[in-house]
Chains A and B, each alone.
Chain A
Amino acid sequence: MAGGYFLLFSKFLIALALCVSLSFAHASVLSEYEVKAAFFYNFTQFVSWIPVPDKKLPLRICVLGDNPFGDLLQPLVGRKSQGRTLELANPEDLTAAVGCNVLFVGSSNLRNLPAIIATAQEGNMLTISELPGFIGRGGIIGYVKQGNIIRFEINLQAADAAGVSINSRLLELASRVIQ
């Protein structure tokens, strides 16, 4: 029995060492929100809206409520994703979020979530959040942290409902997909 524990423990150690070394490679360079901000931009590239919007219109990214990114999203402003210029907004409440294409739901909006989801579905918005269990509650993309690695999960039903199409390449990378 003792040998079995030892084997398990050693496996755990190896896994831990691997995780640490892998995450170290990234974490040493980028902070958690830097990674999340980079993901943010990447998400916009693998998502399309139905109906297809005019390319001349800017792509409006909104951070609802408290902004955990600080200035990290500022570099996105002016960049282009799928031909559309990115715009950044930080609406205080839901009413101000009209016209957003991508909606980041901050942790402060936990209570108001059903309303936000409903509004977002109406407004053809891609919802992203780091709230735990976000996609289970109708959100489309949710950040998850596996150990030190930032990953994401996708709710395809919610995406369909919001008229947002997710590229299969993005689905392949998701840690979990709700269909």
Chain B
Amino acid sequence: MGRWRWRYWPLKAKLLFPTLFTSTLGIVLVCASLIVVENENYREQLESELQVIAGILAEQSAAALLFEDHEQLSNIISSLRKIETIKQACVFNASGVLMSALYSSDDTSCTNMKAQPELGFVGDYYRLSQPVTLYDDTVGLIYLISHLEVLKAHIRTFIFLALGIGVLIQLILVFVAFKLQRVVSHPILELSGAAERISLAHDYTIRAPVYGNDELGRLGTTFNDMIGTIEQQNRRILESRDGLERIVEHRTSQLSLANKELEAFSYSVSHDLRQPLRAIEGFGRALEEDCERLLDETGKDHLRRIRAASVRMGGLIDGLLVLSRVSRQPMESKRLNLSEMLQDIAEELIDLSKPLPTEVHIQPDIWVVGDGRMLRIAFQNLLENAWKYSAKEQVRLIEVSATSGADYITIAIQDNGVGFDMRYIDKLFVAFNRLHTPSEFGGTGIGLATVNRVILRHHGKISASSEVGEGARFCVSLPVGD
């Protein structure tokens, strides 16, 4: 059904249809009006012929009527036999008495004129009444009935002829219209074909042929100009893309070089720096153990400080290594139960920490997708922070909850610790930035930077909110994954 709608028609049909519809309508109307006119004309002709015949008959039969010469009357009207259309001819005298009659084979009697029969074209017959007059005296009446078979046959022939000519003209018009529509449709089809080829092959060197200087010609020229512009722009885009690719390649190689240097640096840090540090620490301990008696209290204090600093530096180096590892290490994503992981971490922390009344609530069955080792580092840091900053409270309260969205699952870690000032939120996730002094709370300043790096590598987000003394809330959003 839908295929027959106008908008699905091909252009050729759209061009042909209105032309042919109009011409068909025109031909039909012309034929119909010709037929009507011919019918009228033929009727009038028939009428006037019969009137002439009746007039002649009246003139001829006047004398015979007066002298009541039946023989002569029948002679006169028998001449009508030659006229095939006459069905009945009756001659009445002045007093309405039938004087003579002529019937065709299937007819029998004359109409009674006193009944005043309807005249003119009635039904299948034409009826005519012609008074016979002589010097203004009516001496009789001639009544003629003509059947209309000749008229009908004539009109039938005329209709067939008109239809035949109409069909012939229509055929010629179809032929001509078909030829002419190509003049219009050919450039459009060429244009459409060119557009399709360009669209399919993405070949912007193709041009549509341009015919003439009319609207279609201008359309073709404009189309070609547009394609030319697109071709140029496409070339420029491709060139700049190639340029960009070269730049990216260059930068990538630079980046990988830098990465290698960083790895080398990390390696140096982990091994080269650690060795002297272990020496400092080891010899410091040896000094403490072996020469404790030789040192006074000041010396011992200095020694203790050296050892503490070297321990802290070892922590820093470890932290940096972890940060570097989480940045470079390839990810192995899988689905895992975060609640269990957090529970493990919390139990480890409870074991390690000082006996402070601690309440940890972890919402069960939080499932996330990610690299288990990295996530463990991140959440270990977050829980350690919560642990650390709530160490000075009467009771430690830590709550982990999760809310699922369409694309993300958000895990919130809430503690009742000291919190932080929201003014410094910008510095919170930057390495080596600390919001508390080491004397208040120990730490390297690398933990949250590492957490941030892990979450970013998981395409997640991290945010924090707090008020000083009111605890802190860290929210981690991770993509749900497939």
Q: Which A positions have Cβ atoms within 8 angstroms of B?
A: 22, 26, 39, 42, 45-46, 80-83, 167, 169-170, 172-173
Q: A46 CA to B72 CA in the complex, in Å?
A: 16
Q: Which residues of B contact A (CB under 8 A)?
A: 59-60, 62-64, 66-70, 72, 134-135
Contacts of A45 in B (CB 8 A): 66, 134-135
Q: Is the contact region of chain A dominated by helix, strand, or loop, or is it mixed?
A: helix
CB of A169 within 8 A of CB of B135, answer no
Closest chain-B Cβ to A48's Cβ sits at a distance in Å of 11
A-chain residues with CB within 8 Å of residue B135 when the two chains form the complex: 45, 80-83
A169 with B69: CB separation less than 8 A:
no
Query: Inside 8 A of B72's CB, which chain A residues have their CB?
Result: 172-173
Q: Of A22, A42, A83, A172, which one neighbours B66 at CB under 8 angstroms?
A: A42
> Residues of A contacting B68 with CB < 8 Å?
26
* Given pairs A169-B62, A173-B64, A173-B69, 6 additional interface contacts (CB within 8 A): A26-B68, A42-B63, A82-B135, A172-B63, A172-B64, A172-B72
* A22 surroundings in chain B (CB, below 8 A): 70
Q: Which of A26, A39, A42 counts the most B-chain CB atoms under 10 A from its CB?
A: A42
- Choice from B59, B60, B63, B70 contacting A170 with Cβ under 8 Å: B63
* 13 intermolecular pairs with C-beta atoms under 8 Å apart: A26-B68, A42-B63, A42-B66, A45-B135, A83-B135, A167-B63, A169-B60, A169-B63, A170-B63, A172-B72, A173-B67, A173-B69, A173-B72
Distance in Å: Cβ of A35 to nearest Cβ of chain B: 8
Give the residue name and chain of the B residue nearest to A42 (CB). B66
Q: With the chains together, A39 CA to B59 CA distance in Å? A: 18
In whole angstroms, how far apart are the Cα atoms of A170 and B134 in the complex? Answer: 13
User: Distance (Å) between the CB of B211 and the closest chain A CB?
Assistant: 82
| Complex CA distance for A81 and B135, rounded to whole angstroms | 8
CA of A22 to CA of B68, assembled, Å = 11
Question: Which 3 residue pairs are nearest across A and B when measured between Cβ atoms?
Answer: A169-B63, A42-B66, A173-B69
A42 to B63, CA, bound (A): 8
Residues of A within 8 A of B134 (CB): 45
Q: How far is the CA of A22 from the CA of B71 in the complex (A)?
A: 11
Compute how far the CA of A42 lies from the CA of B68 in the bound complex, rounded to whole angstroms: 11
A39 interface neighbour in B60, B62, B64, B67, Cβ under 8 Å: B67
Which of B59, B60, B63, B70 interacts with A46 by CB under 8 Å? B63
Nearest-Cβ distance from residue B6 to partner chain A, whole angstroms: 75
CB distance from B142 to the nearest CB of A (A): 15
Q: Which residues of B contact A83 (CB under 8 A)?
A: 135
Of A22, A80, A172, which is in contact with the most chain B CB atoms at under 10 Å from its CB? A172
Contacts of A26 in B (CB 8 A): 68
Residues of B near A46 (CB, < 8 A) are 63
Q: Which residues of A contact B64 (CB under 8 A)?
A: 169, 172-173
With A and B bound together, what is the CA distance between A135 and B372 in angstroms?
157
Chain A, Cβ-Cβ closest to B76:
A172
Contacts of B60 in A (CB 8 A): 169
